[in-house]
Amino acid sequence: MDRISIIDGIRTPFCKMGTVFNDLSAQELGRIVTQELIERTGIDPKIIDEMIFGCVAQPPDAANISRVIALLSGLPKTIPAFTVHRNCASGIESVVTAALKIQGGEADCILAGGTESMSNIPFFLTKQLQEIIWEFIKAKTLPEKFKALSPLKLKYLSPRVGLQMGLTDPVCGLNMGQTAEVLAKEFGIPREEQDEFALISHQRAMKARSTLREEIVPVIPGPDYKNVVQDDNGPRENQTMEALAKLRPFFDRETGTVTAGNSSQVTDGAVALIVMRESKARELRLQPLGYLKAFAFAGVEPHRMGIGPAHAIPKVLKKAGMKLSDMQAIEINEAFAVQVLACLRALGSAQFAKEFGYEGFTGEIDRSILNVNGGAVALGHPVGATGSRLILTILKHMKRNNLNLGLVSLCVGGGQGAAVILER
């Protein structure tokens, strides 16, 4: 059977919210990677059957952002597009959906990816203020207008921050950081271990700077076109344990261990990948970066969402009939250092495997093959884009080091885990 090949990919640098990409919308970021990927691969845009992007905070001025990106990129208008949303795994979902479409015979070539501008998530009005404004607009006479405004109270004016709402679980009521604290306490993971993990992430990301440029298109943000942004701006060169230790716990001021320093950074960025039927790639004489071997999603309790990978990983291994030790490279998204550490502990525990029936598909993970070029603690986590970024980063890494098998996994807000296996 035809495999699902990933021909090539490209991403923007990942840049912290409110910094150099502040003026670039999610669709603009998506446009940049889409155009550049087509230019670099030289594929004829006409062979693209569909465009699928993942995006979490889908901008109100770009409904169905995939289609907007396709049109902004100058792709033929005949290419349909739709947008997918699986929270932090949206960038995985787009690739998986592409794979399913290809396997289902619906397409041969799909441009998939993810984009997120966390700098541009809007603030919302309170429902009360919204209603008052409606009444005001409907009112015809001046007295009516006055009357419409009369229920106004000062507290209605305070905005609701979209970013904050998005990062809060509506079912368990905890925000993402608080779910990380749940895991920290459950697994008893000390602050220092989390900080150490964060430090390594920064060190590896700094060291990988020139390597990562292979997957990055430099961006020159308009409208002033002054700066050339070539690198992720999250990694800190002089990160130290001391500096990390100074930070106060952010989500649980009193008893917490999760700080801004050992959590992923809030970031803007976009990634594009070309997903293609293997035989089509052969026909076009394209040399794929690698192949999507298997994927799996798992559900967990929303207040323990960070544990998702510990369930998705054995699930995908089982599907593929492989062992964790077969994997030569692993990327587990660093939403929070503690959440990755919790997953490692769970996967290393025989009791955990037994409890969930994962025997044979879990095990210890060799840290030296985990997140070797740094993770989201340093590079940042533009939620809709990260999934695609992990696939791109691991495939480039596998290519450089001539590795055959790689595993990518993420925890997903709302209580899910996602995992994919890639091969070369």
- DSSP annotation of 216 reads B
Among 72, 89, 266, 329, which residue sits at the site for other proteins (rule: CB under 8 A)?
72
d(CA 331, CA 371): 5
Among 218, 299, 302, 414, which residue sits at the site for other proteins (rule: CB under 8 A)?
218
> Can residue 36 be called a binding residue for other proteins (CB under 8 A)?
yes
Among 225, 248, 254, 402, which residue sits at the site for other proteins (rule: CB under 8 A)?
225
d(CA 395, CA 390): 8
Contact in structure between 7 and 284 (CB atoms under 8 Å): no
Q: How far is the CB of 19 from other proteins (least distance, A)?
A: 17
> Can residue 74 be called a binding residue for other proteins (CB under 8 A)?
yes
Check 55, 88, 109, 343 and give the catalytic one.
88
> Can residue 42 be called a binding residue for other proteins (CB under 8 A)?
yes
Beta bridge partners of 405: 423
CA 12, 14, 19 angle in degrees (round to 5)? 110
Contact window for other proteins (CB under 8 A) among 174-182, 227-235, 240-248, 327-335: 227-235
CA 25, 31, 33 angle in degrees (round to 5)? 110
| x/- track of binding to other proteins for residues 353-392 (CB under 8 A) | ----------------------------------------
> Can residue 223 be called a binding residue for other proteins (CB under 8 A)?
yes
d(CA 128, CA 362): 51
Task: Between 11 and 202, name the residue whose CB sits nearer to other proteins.
Answer: 11
Task: Between 223 and 321, name the residue whose CB sits nearer to other proteins.
Answer: 223
Q: How far is the CB of 21 from other proteins (least distance, A)?
A: 15
Best CA proximity match to 291, nearest among 404, 423, 142: 423
Best CA proximity match to 391, nearest among 111, 113, 17, 45: 113
| x/- track of binding to other proteins for residues 234-273 (CB under 8 A) | ----------------------------------------
d(CA 255, CA 402): 45
Q: Is 411 a catalytic residue?
A: yes
H-state helical runs in 225-371: 241-246, 278-283, 308-320, 337-348, 350-356
Q: Is 109 a catalytic residue?
A: no
Task: Between 74 and 188, name the residue whose CB sits nearer to other proteins.
Answer: 74
Among 126, 175, 230, 349, which residue sits at the site for other proteins (rule: CB under 8 A)?
230
Per-residue burial over 150-173, b = 16 or more CB atoms within 10 Å of its CB, e = otherwise:
eeeeeeeeeeeebbeebbbbeebe
Q: How far is the CB of 52 from other proteins (least distance, A)?
A: 20
Task: Between 42 and 143, name the residue whose CB sits nearer to other proteins.
Answer: 42
d(CA 249, CA 240): 17
> Can residue 142 be called a binding residue for other proteins (CB under 8 A)?
no
Task: Pull the structure tokens for residue 360.
Answer: 């044979």
Best CA proximity match to 166, nearest among 234, 249, 63, 90: 90
Among 6, 20, 24, 35, which residue sits at the site for other proteins (rule: CB under 8 A)?
35
> Can residue 40 be called a binding residue for other proteins (CB under 8 A)?
yes
Among 222, 359, 400, 401, which residue sits at the site for other proteins (rule: CB under 8 A)?
222
- Give the footprint of other proteins on this chain (CB under 8 A): 31, 35-36, 39-40, 42, 44, 72-74, 218, 220, 222-228, 230
- Catalytic annotation, residues: 88, 381, 411
